[in-house]
A = this chain, B = another copy of it.
Amino acid sequence: MERNICVCLEFLTDEHRRTIEEAAREAGFSVRFFTDEDEARGFLPQCEVLYAHSAELLRAAPRTLNWYCCAWAGVDPYCRNDGIFANPDCLLSNSSGAYGITIAEHILMVLLMLLRRMPEYEAVVRERGWRSDLPVRSILGSHITVLGAGNIGSTFAQRAKALGAARITGISRSGKARDAVYDEMFPIDRLDEVLPRTEILVMALPGTAETQKVLSRERIALLPENAVIVNVGRGTALDQEALSQALNAGRLAGAALDVVVPEPLPADHFLWETRNLILTPHVAGNMTLDYTCDLNVRMFCEDLKNYAAGRPLRHLVDRSRGY
């Protein structure tokens, strides 16, 4: 019987398709490409592997599906045990690793905008005004905490180190780092010790039950008044109301959120009007950067080799853990 792969992605170039076809052939698979989910659905009953980023499509796959490779890094919609997998033993892998570069550059951009008062200068320029006296700050010499020391957090940490950050503290579940870039590592249950000496808090956590509002109202209150927060992981990881109140009251210097709850944000939501807050519509990891797309495809092809050879997938997700 023919072994089939269904690929339903909108970002693939002809070269990407050739790369995937070649990897499939070598692994003993046939592959078909779709950009339309309805068309892809018809092919699913014959498929063993699905490479896509659609909960709808996954939900439509029969028990014969054995591996779902998600093209996103965040896989929270697939880890809720709500029967989204017809086959309970279906493997789930993600594309964590493909987004480090683009999201790290986003973090750097919004962080510098916060430290250098760019939204205020932009408002001056919109009014055709001229002033240059707002006090700016630097990454050089700063104390940074990276909450979520995975690929995204560590790619940013490397850049912050090159820019002269004085101390970069990594926080992960275990307190162990996969990357030597951190000056110190702490497990997440010691976060409260670290927050009072954090000037820049970068959050790059997956959306799991454990990360739900991990930056609570009480923890926001532990940050010093000059602290800025950047969140690029999941909006669920912080208490949005407490953050908004702290920003409006001047108890925090600023924040930049690329992820919020809910998305899109309703027109009457309080975050739109929050002071010193840079909002972006979940753009940090968008799939328009060639590098991200190339790496995404390369990672799938690597794991296809592993899958065909019966080896463990390199990007396998632990569905009970959520990442």
Contact yes or no, A101 B132, CB < 8 A = no
For the complex formed, measure the closest distance between the CB of A167 and the CB atoms of chain B, giving whole angstroms.
16
Report, as a range, how many residues of chain A touch the other chain. Answer: 35 or more
Q: For A118, what are the chain B residues with a Cβ–Cβ distance below 8 Å? A: 109, 113, 280
> DSSP class of A's interface residues: helix, strand, loop or mixed?
loop
A283→B132 contact, CB < 8 A: yes
How far is B134's CA from A84's CA once the two chains are assembled, in angstroms? 31
**CB of A249 within 8 Å of the partner chain:** no
CB-nearest residue of chain B relative to A286?
A: B132
Q: Are A102 and B136 in contact (CB under 8 A)?
A: yes
What B residues does A130 contact at CB under 8 A?
263-265, 281
Contact assessment for B281 and A138 in the assembled complex, using a CB-CB cutoff below 8 Å: no
CA distance A291 to B165 in the complex (A): 13
Chain A, range 31-71, C-beta contacts under 8 Å to B: none
Q: A102-B138, A136-B286 are in contact. Are A116 and B121 (CB under 8 A)?
A: no
Q: Decide if B289 touches A138 in the complex (CB within 8 Å).
A: yes
The answer to the question of A124 belonging to the interface, with a C-beta cut-off of 8 Å to chain B, is yes
Q: Which residues of B contact A280 (CB under 8 A)?
A: 118, 121, 125
Cα(A123)–Cα(B220), bound, Å: 29
Contact of A116 among B109, B125, B282 (CB under 8 A): B109
Contact A129 B291 (CB under 8 A): no
Chain B residues with CB under 8 A of A286: 132-134, 136
- Which residues of chain B are within 8 angstroms of A143 by Cβ–Cβ distance? none
State the Cβ distance, A262 to closest chain B Cβ, in Å: 11
Which residues of B are found within 8 Å of A132, using beta-carbon distances?
281-283, 286
* Interface residue? A1 (CB, 8 A): no
A282 to B106, CA, bound (A): 24
**How distant is A168 from chain B, measured CB to nearest CB, in Å?**
14
A3 contacts B by Cβ under 8 Å: no
- Stretch with Cβ within 8 A of B (4 or more), from A156-164, A231-239, A305-313: A156-164
User: Which of B131, B133, B141 is the one whose CB lies under 8 Å from A291?
Assistant: B141
Report whether A116 and B112 are in contact in the complex, using a CB–CB cutoff of 8 Å.
Answer: no
Chain B residues, Cβ within 8 Å of A282: 132
User: Are A105 and B141 in touch, CB under 8 angstroms?
Assistant: no
Question: Looking at the complex, which one of B105, B121, B135 makes contact with A138 (CB distance below 8 Å)?
Answer: B105
Distance in Å: Cβ of A300 to nearest Cβ of chain B: 21
A240–chain B nearest beta-carbon distance, Å: 16
Chain A interface (Cβ within 8 Å of chain B)?
101-102, 105-106, 108-109, 112-113, 115-116, 118, 121-122, 124-125, 128-141, 158-159, 162-164, 263-265, 267, 272, 279-283, 286, 288-289, 291
**Which 3 pairs, one residue from A and one from B, show the smallest C-beta to C-beta distance?**
A162-B162, A130-B264, A109-B112
Q: List 23 A-B contacts (CB under 8 A).
A: A101-B138, A101-B140, A102-B138, A105-B139, A106-B112, A106-B116, A109-B116, A113-B113, A116-B283, A118-B280, A121-B280, A121-B281, A121-B283, A125-B272, A125-B280, A125-B281, A128-B265, A129-B281, A130-B264, A136-B283, A136-B286, A159-B162, A162-B163
